[in-house]
Every structure is written in C-alpha cells, then in structure tokens.
Amino acid sequence: MEVEKIDYPQFFDLVSRRYSCRGYDDAPVSREMLMAIVETGRLAQSACNRQPWKFLVIDTPELREQVTKCYEREWAREARAFIVALGNSSEAWVRPCDGHNGMDVDVAIACENMCLAAASLGLGACWIGNFDVETLRCTLDIPAEWSPVAIISIGYPKPSQVVPEKKRKNIDEVVKWGKF
C-alpha cells in the first residue's frame, strides 16, 4: 500500500535544507520574523506539557555584543539576533522510575522547532552549545533556577556562504527494526 505523503515532501525538504549557518550578512532580521520563530518554540511538545522554558530574544547591538563575549567566534559576531533558550529543572517533569529530569530534552525540542522555523523563513541559524554559561548568566541577569541550554544565532546567510554537505551516518547504522 502507498503511504499517503501529504506534507512530507515539503517537511523532508525543510529538514534536509536546514544546516548550521556560520556566516551572516548585514541585513537586519525583523522582530516579526523573530516572533514567528519563537512562536514555534512556544508550541513545542514537552513532557507532561510542563513547558519548562523561556526564550530571551537578543537583537540590540549592545546585548548582541555582550552575548558574543560568551562565545568568541568571528562568525557569531555577524549574527543579527540570538535566541537564548533557558530551562528550569524544577518546572520540568521528572521520570519516577529513575529521577531523570526532562528539562534538557524539552528545551532541545523547542530549539529544533526554532531552527527549522528560521530555515523555513530563509534565515540561517546555528545552535550554539559551547558557550560560557556563567558569563552569559551574568550578562543577561539569568536567575539561578534558569539554566541556559542553547544560544541560537540568527541572520540572513551571507551570499558567499557555502552550504555544507550533510554528513550523516548511514540509515543501517542508526535504524534497527526490532531488538538492539
């Protein structure tokens, strides 16, 4: 039987085209665009629907400059905006059998929605995890109960930006039908 693929081709195309963009041009990104992106973070699924997240949208030159001090890369300075995704473990669902806290997973889902949303709008984005947590906390007045999980840099890709080849493991290496 043919599997009915209504929106799948478009969705697959979006997922395939999304890449970590590390070169942005000068064009500003409107607040309307940024709102459209964070809206997809807000709509993300989360364990027990706890939504243990907040998103700081950073688009002023002063704050952008300060955020780049927490992740010192030349390309990051070109970003026109950053979304700092925060998670609160005490708001997240905890798995009773082993005490595993779902905060990181929940915030990650919201972040991926936002990266895909940026790609769908023709913007480039990069998930940044390798930032200086304490510097970011001080810079943005993040209270102790909120943990910065990711910074997402956003901007229009530089025209010279080469879209990197997708390097992924083969499907046979990562998918098994049935037992491990």
Ligand X SMILES: Cc1cc2nc3c(=O)[nH]c(=O)nc-3n(C[C@H](O)[C@H](O)[C@H](O)COP(=O)(O)O)c2cc1C
The footprint of ligand X (CB under 6 A) covers: 19-20, 22, 126-130, 164, 166
Cβ distance to ligand X smaller for residue 105 or 177: 105
Cα angle: 8, vertex 11, 13; to 5 degrees: 105
Nearest-approach distance from CB 80 to ligand X, in angstroms: 17
Cβ distance to ligand X smaller for residue 15 or 35: 15
CA-to-CA distance for 140 and 63, rounded, in angstroms?
8
Q: Shortest Cβ contact with ligand X: which residue?
A: 129
Cβ distance to ligand X smaller for residue 96 or 133: 133
Cβ atoms of 151 and 75 closer than 8 Å = no
Note the Cα 29 to chain centre separation in Å. 16
Nearest-approach distance from CB 141 to ligand X, in angstroms: 22
Nearest-approach distance from CB 137 to ligand X, in angstroms: 17
Note the Cα 149 to chain centre separation in Å. 9
User: Helix or strand or coil: residue 64?
Assistant: helix
